[in-house]
């Protein structure tokens, strides 16, 4: 898990991205989905670029 690779607790990451520890736990357990804005904030914490690539739907 990326959070653990960066030695962050759920509480620490949740605070950095502006959500509660409970919300983060639900996201990590698959009980809640993260929105695009939240994913972007999390990726910035990890120093990773977040790129959205458009897809063509026919």
Query: Is 34 domain-assigned?
Result: yes
Specify the DSSP class assigned to residue 1.
-
CATH number of the domain to which 12 belongs? 1.10.260.40
Q: Any idea how long the chain is?
A: 58
Query: Is 28 domain-assigned?
Result: yes
Query: Is 25 domain-assigned?
Result: yes
Domain containing 39 equals: 2-45
Dihedral sign for Cα 40, 44, 45, 48, please.
positive
Query: Is 52 domain-assigned?
Result: no
> pLDDT tens digits, the chain, 58 residues: what are they?
788 988 999 999 999 999 999 999 999 999 999 998 998 899 899 888 777 677 788 7
Number of domains in the chain: 1
């Amino acid at each position: 898990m990326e959070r653990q690779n960066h030695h962050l607790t759920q509480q620490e990451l949740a605070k950095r991205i502006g959500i509660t520890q409970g919300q983060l736990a639900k996201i990590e357990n698959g009980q809640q989905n993260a929105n695009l804005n939240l994913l972007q904030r999390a990726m910035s914490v990890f120093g990773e670029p977040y790129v959205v690539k458009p897809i063509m739907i026919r």
